[in-house]
Chains A and B, each alone.
Chain A
Amino acid sequence: MKIRKHWILLIFLFYAWGAAQAVHAAQDAALERRVQQLSAELRCLVCQNQSLADSNADLALDLKNQVREQIEQGASDRQVIAFMTERYGDFVLYRPPLKATTLLLWFGPVLLFAGGLIALFMRLRRRAQTLAAPVLSAEERARAAALLGEPATRREPKLP
């Protein structure tokens, strides 16, 4: 499980340099919680798929401090997110913004769900219509029963 060499080097350097960085822990617990929640939704760009909240990489700490400062200055979540996307693009957002290109992402599950239920309903209805005759031939049933070691009668489909 190696990562490409170049990146190892970069990440390592960010780590090494980050050692000296102090995270100034904000006093206010509510503020800290907001920082935590927001930075859990932002992606650390130098990491292998980690959020700012989870990462200790140097840039992640810097950006987390940015988030904290902006919140301290009264910025809304939306403003913080706008600040990040202006600089790093939508890539930093773990919750992709709703726009034309992400419509399918956000509504895909709903479509799948609706489609699945409709398909299920249609199937069940058609099934009820076609199921007027026994499906297994007598011979098939006997063979199945023999293979299962069961008397053939148990598998008889019951018809109305």
Chain B
Amino acid sequence: MRRWLWPLGIFLVLAVFLGVGLTLNPREVPSPLIGKPAPQFELPLLHDAGKTFTQKDLLGKVWMLNVWASWCAACRDEHPVLVDLAKSGVVPIYGLNYKDKRPDGVAWLKRFGDPYVLSAYDEKGRVGIDYGVYGVPETYVIDKQGVIRYKHIGVVTPRDVKEKILPLIAKLNENT
């Protein structure tokens, strides 16, 4: 009898994996950039094409980079959460306006409120690719050394802010 138990054994192992698989989300791709320095960029500002912004400006600060666009419906769902977070003043939020039209982006912020210290204008989405953006909105938390510590794909909910982002920022601000 023992000789014929191998099919059952293999099957049960498989079933355990399938069971664990049910608890996972196959769509969420972890970023390989976490723990790595934020990719370099220098982009014009959304509101002022004459000025530029680079991630180097923020060395020594803990900050958030939020990728958004006026054509992104999910960004609208997320927006009030960001506005509230910006009001609390815990962390400066910088925007990366991704593959948008300048007037559309400006009008969108006017209409829904502007939580961003400033928004960099990534017209062709090249910086987006460097940051591994694949589903707008995406949000990055970057530490004082300019290292990406956290990436959130999709809409940031108030719960995400409370349970993930705020504790992380507090921790990052402690380490000098």
Contact = CB atoms under 8 A, between A and B. Distances in A.
Tell me the dominant secondary structure on chain B's binding face. Answer: loop
Give the interface SS of chain A, mostly helix, strand, loop or mixed.
helix
B28 to A, nearest CB: 10
Contact of A6 (B74, B124, B129): B74
B154 A88 contact: no
Interface in A60-80: 62-63, 66
Interface string A44-67: 011000000000001100110010
Interface residues of B, number: 21
Interface of A: 6-7, 9-10, 13, 16-17, 45-46, 58-59, 62-63, 66, 85-89, 91
A62 B127 CA distance: 12
A89 B30 contact: yes
Contacts of A66: 129
Interface of B: 27, 29-33, 71-74, 99, 124-125, 129-132, 134-136, 154
A99 B33 CA distance: 19
Given A62-B124, A87-B132, 4 more contacts: A6-B74, A6-B154, A13-B71, A89-B31
Contacts of A13: 71-73
24 contacts: A6-B154, A10-B74, A10-B135, A10-B136, A13-B72, A17-B71, A45-B135, A46-B134, A46-B135, A58-B99, A62-B124, A62-B125, A63-B129, A86-B32, A86-B33, A87-B32, A87-B129, A87-B130, A88-B29, A88-B32, A88-B132, A88-B134, A89-B29, A89-B30
Contacts, number: 47
A118 B131 CA distance: 49
B154 A87 contact: no
A25 B27 CA distance: 31
Contacts of B125: 59, 62
B83 to A, nearest CB: 21
B32 A7 contact: no
